[in-house]
Each structure stands twice: as C-alpha cells, then as structure tokens.
Amino acid sequence: MRRSMSLALTAAALAVTALPATASAAPSAPSAADRTPASALEWGPCPADAAAPRLQCSTLEVPLDYRDPDGRKIEVAVSRLASEKPSKRRGVLVTNPGGPGGVGLLYPAVLAASGLPQEVVDSYDIIGFDPRGVGHSTPVTCDLTQEQQWRGNFPPYAHTAADVTREVDYARQVAEQCKTSSTAEMLPHTTTANTARDMDRIRAALGESKVSYLGASYGTYLGSVYATLFPQRGDRIVLDSNLGPGGYDATAMRLMARGMEDRFPDFAAFAAAHPEYGLGSTPEQIKAKFYELADRLDEKPVQGVNGTSFRGFTFEQLYSDGTLPKLAEFWQAVDTGGELPLPELPAGLENLLASRFAVVCGDSRWPGTVREYQRNVAVDRVRYPMLGGSTASINPCAFWPEERTEPPVRITGRGPSNILMLQNERDPGTPLAGARKLRHALGGRATMVTVDQGGHGVYPYGRNTCAKDAASAFLTTGERPSGDLHCAAEPAE
C-alpha cells in the first residue's frame, strides 16, 4: 500500500481544533500587559505558520542535557497571548495540545478562538511552545521517506505470529534511521522529563514563581511529570483526556484498542440511525459491516487502502462526533466501490513522526523480543479484535538505542492538591481505563470530572457544560468540585 489512510497515532492524537480563518493576521503591537511581570524573553512576530492576532513569539535557550547545564544548548520556541485586562490578570497558563510531536506555538490562539471563556483569557497570559525536537524548536529527524511517513506509527494488523515477524525488519530499519540521523545526539534527551524541565525554564524566563497549566492528551502526561518534578511551582493544573501514569508506553499503545471498542458503539448507533448510508439498520449490523469491510480490504486493497488503513481511519474519525458522517461516507464508498478520499501528506509530518518516536520510545522501556509482541497480539486480537492486532504489534521502539539518561518519572500523590482531571467515558485515544490509573496514582492531589460522552477532548471544545464550567471555575477562582464528579450526558446541539 503506497498511501495509508491511518495517521491516527500521529496527527489525530493531537486533537487540536483548526484555527478559524479570521484568526490568521499578523500579531498586534505590545499591550500594557506585555510588561507585567518582567520577562527575560524578547517578544516579536511569530513565524508565518503560527501567526494570529495578538500572538507573540520568542525563543529560549535550554540545555540539551540537563546533567550538563553548561554544555550544548538547543532552542525552544515560545508564544504568548497576553491578557488585555491587567487588572484581572492572575498569572500565566502554559498549554500543550498533545502529541508527542505536536507543535504548540499556535495553540493559545486556537484555544481563544475555539471557545475558551473570556474570563479565562482575561485571567492569564496564555503560553504555548513547540516542545524540544518539534517544529520551530530545535527539531529532530529520522530521515523518513515519503513511504515511511505514509506508514505513520500504526503497525500493520497482525492476524498471526508470522505477521508480527514480517514487521521486524521495517521496525528495525526505522529505529536505525533515527539512531544514525544528523540529530541522533538529541535522542536520549528528547523526553517528557526534559520537556517538563524546559517548561520550568520558560516559567523562570517569564518571571513567574508559579505557572498554571492546561494540557490535553499526551499533554496530560507532560503536566503530570511537571507536577511531579516541580510540585511547588504549579498553580492550577488542568489535565484533559488523560493517559495513564506511564505516559505513551506499551500499555497505553495497547489500550487504544480498548478505546476503539469503548467508542465504536456511538458510531454504530449513528450509522444505524441513518439508513441513507446503507451500512445496516442495527448497531449489530454496523459492527458486522466493519469486519466485512476490513476482511475484504485485507484480502484485496482498493485504491491503496488495505484493512490496516481502514481500521486506522475508522479509529481516527472516532475522535469527534463531528467526523462520524465523514466516517460513514468513507465506509459507504468502500462498500459500494466509490471514490475514496486519499489525504495529502501533511506538512511537517516527518518531524512529527520523528519527534514522536523519540519521546514514545525514549520515555520508557518497550518489550525487546519478537515473542513478547506475538503473545501480546494473540491476547489483544481476542480481547479487542477491532484494533488489537495493530496496537499490540511490534514497532521501532523494540529496537531503540539502549542509552537512557534517567528512568521514567514515577507519578505519585506527593505535592499540593491542585490538579483537575477531565475525562470522557468513551475516549478512543486516551481511554477511561488509563485515566483511572492516573487518578489513582495522583491520589489526593487530583479531582476527576468524568463525562458521559464520547470522543477525545473535553475543554473547551466539548459540548458538556457541567465539565466545562468546572474547568473554567477552577482556572478563574481556584474552586474545584469537592470530590470526583460525574457529568451526565447532555443532548447534542
């Protein structure tokens, strides 16, 4: 297959809403808030692909290796959407849209344009940044070919142990390319722990004693690591769509297959209620159609789409209720022989994939034998048959360079009680099962708001006012629910 429909474990995992066209102008002149407090950063226009009204950018030097703070430096690109109400400003809100590998310079403007309440925008200078290795920060590369970029991070669906074995050479090749690339020196240091340390350098450069934080998806792990490494420097921390306490480790990758099983009934109900798609009239028929189409494409790919990419594209479109019609149309085209939409290669995809490999493979140890992946596939194919043969299979992390600068950060409940977790019950990318493990690890530090809805992302994009109001109240007043809170489903608008 030349073109894969599945970049689901890359771009879709970022879950960032596109910035409206009205928010693409050059940054405005500095406001009075620019000078409060004193900052070591020199603010100016943002790069063209991160330009938005009032958004300003700067660059901060940080150590490549924090064990050698006077050694080689790399750059971290930082952005700021300054509060226009100095009398209401209470500090800075550092943000991360997810990833790993996701750019973040534009994210403050995305949030402001996508429903972040005005009282939150007034209360903070909203800070974005491209994490180390990503975008306008010092980037990493694995010299991935176009073919490799289309493959993404999604292993082919393994129906047998032999299918796992067949993927070994490709996984080893990608790991070797990363290891021998021109940025290989950065690999041991492109980790979540070091990105958290970069965040603290940003805090210091902003002249702040504490920072608040809003992170989504992978950003929940980054926020948890920051809260662990710097417990007294976090103010109000909001974690939306939560990974487990191990971050994007092998457990989280396998858990995505459970996420698809959790979320798929929402699509099955939607498709069954719309007979115009011709996919079935009951949820059971829709699920049977999934296996029929996947098996058909495994046997004979159509227009460059095989069973693996069909599964991956289905998974990707489950991230939002708004994309369910697009998914139904895609299934209909597969079923009837219609024209399939083949995506263009996204700009910056090589860097996104390379930085994702660096963080995911470098943060934790992955199984190192083919036999272990074969066992995991055998288990998950039965437990989560829709996607388990892919997410449990072997990938470049199995052959990653051995050098590690430190063990994974262990998330604990030590520190102030200043974390609010937001979580959809039927989130495909960061399932509720993983969020519950993080909630347990954080103990008394956290309160969790669970929402009876599907999809990836709660704040501010979701429609559930109970959850959104809880997050806004916490960010603006510091008030959290007195205990873990369940928000009932609300009707679609």
Backbone phi, then psi, for 74, in 5-degree steps?
-125, 170
169 has catalytic annotation: no
Q: Count CB-CB contacts under 10 A for residue 452.
A: 15
> Which of 266, 363, 427, 472 is labelled catalytic?
427
136 has catalytic annotation: no
393 has catalytic annotation: no
| Exposed e or buried b per residue across 286-312, where buried means at least 16 C-beta atoms within 10 angstroms of its C-beta | bbebbeebbebbbeebebebbbbbbbb
Secondary structure of 2-71 as H, E, C letters: CCCCCCCCCCHHHCCCCCCHHHCCCCCCCCHHHHCCCCCCCCECCCHHHCCCCEEEEEEEEECCCCCCCC
The CB-side HSE value for 139 (13 A sphere, CA atoms) comes to 16
CA–CA gap between residue 111 and residue 361 (Å, rounded): 29
C-alpha distances (whole Å) from 407 to each of 193, 363, 410 are: 10, 8, 9
C-alpha distances (whole Å) from 239 to each of 39, 86, 141, 181, 236 are: 26, 26, 29, 34, 10
Cβ contacts of 276 within 8 Å, gap of 6 or more? none
> Which of 79, 217, 320, 390 is labelled catalytic?
217
Q: Is the peptide bond before 63 cis (omega within 30 degrees of 0)?
A: no
CA–CA gap between residue 476 and residue 463 (Å, rounded): 20
Nearest CA among 274, 359, 311, 294 for reference residue 99: 359
Report whether 199 contacts 237 (CB < 8 A).
no
CA–CA gap between residue 195 and residue 368 (Å, rounded): 26
- Rg of the Cα atoms in the chain: 22
> Which of 6, 58, 125, 456 is labelled catalytic?
456
CA–CA gap between residue 459 and residue 45 (Å, rounded): 28
Catalytic residues: 217, 427, 456
